[in-house]
Amino acid sequence: MHRLSKRSALVIGCASGIGASVARLFAREGADVALADSGRAAETASLQEAIIAEGGRAASFEVDVRDEAAVAAAIEGVIATFGKLDILVNNAGVSGGFAPFATQNPADWQGVLDVNLNGVAYGMRHALPHMLSRSHGRIINTASQLAHKPAPNNAMYCASKAAVVALTASVAMEVAASGVAVNAVCPGPTDTAMWRAADPEWNAWKISTLPIKRVGTVEEIAWAYVFLASDEASYMVGQSVSPNGGDVMW
């Protein structure tokens, strides 16, 4: 069964990790998939080729989510290429590093917010007019389980992801009755470049606190996006869907 046939999707932040897996699964489920990332043309091109080789339809765009005009141009580009935009995934994210809050560099703070929060806001701002005009759309924002259960030495990241959850819920309330569903995925620890680049001691501690006692795979996270993008998720509004190994259970 192809859950996303006749749908067109844009996945921003898809050169690796969770976003790449989401893009592949969306294509396997029948969606036309636009790939967007920043400064990772080779990886994005190789993902595009892989999707096309499997019989899918894919396009790619260079987008730095800190640049609102670039985000807007990509959304216009997807609509021009595929004729419409049904599904937007705002997945670009950076970790910001691990340090006690008081010692963190204010420039790093701004850098994390620029990508993790502003990038999501830009994506929604420029996709919504098109989706509202069609009375149809799905927006899926990547937050984190750290939005719901913050951790020490990672305050900037936790705050940015909690803001994504609040932004998601607030916008979801505004547009739900107009046919556009806005939800968030809050992954737990997931085996990606971001996870592997983190402090090994922090990672070991985090896994020790998980009921499942292991890190998740990207596919275990990506299916939550397929669900939220599908017709089966038509009653999901402003939710935090949390594939997280049991770290947060509400």
Looking at beta carbons only, is 17 or 77 nearer to ligand NAI? 17
Spatial contact of 185 and 142, defined as CB atoms under 8 Å apart: yes
Looking at beta carbons only, is 28 or 68 nearer to ligand NAI? 68
* Distance between CA atoms of residues 24 and 46, nearest Å: 12
What residue ranges bind ligand NAI (CB under 6 A)? 13-19, 37-38, 40, 63-66, 91-94, 115, 142, 144, 187, 189-190, 192-195
* Distance between CA atoms of residues 161 and 148, nearest Å: 9
Looking at beta carbons only, is 136 or 223 nearer to ligand NAI? 223
Backbone angles phi, psi at 64, to 5 degrees: -95, 115
Q: Between the CA of residue 129 and those of 76, 97, 125, 168, 174, what are the distances in Å? A: 11, 35, 8, 16, 13
Looking at beta carbons only, is 131 or 158 nearer to ligand NAI? 158
Residue of 122, 157, 225, 235 marked active site: 157
User: What is the smallest separation between the CB atom of 61 and ligand NAI, expressed in angstroms?
Assistant: 10
Looking at beta carbons only, is 24 or 83 nearer to ligand NAI? 24
Backbone angles phi, psi at 139, to 5 degrees: -120, 130
Residue 122: active-site member: no
b/e for 162-185, b at 16 or more Cβ within 10 A?
A: bbbbebbbebbeebeeeebbbbbb
* Distance between CA atoms of residues 12 and 91, nearest Å: 6
User: What is the smallest separation between the CB atom of 78 and ligand NAI, expressed in angstroms?
Assistant: 15
User: What is the smallest separation between the CB atom of 151 and ligand NAI, expressed in angstroms?
Assistant: 11
* Distance between CA atoms of residues 143 and 159, nearest Å: 10
- Taking every pair of Cα atoms in the chain, the longest distance, rounded to a whole number of angstroms, is 51
- Residue written as token pair 């275990």: 220
Task: Indicate which residues carry an active-site annotation.
Answer: 157
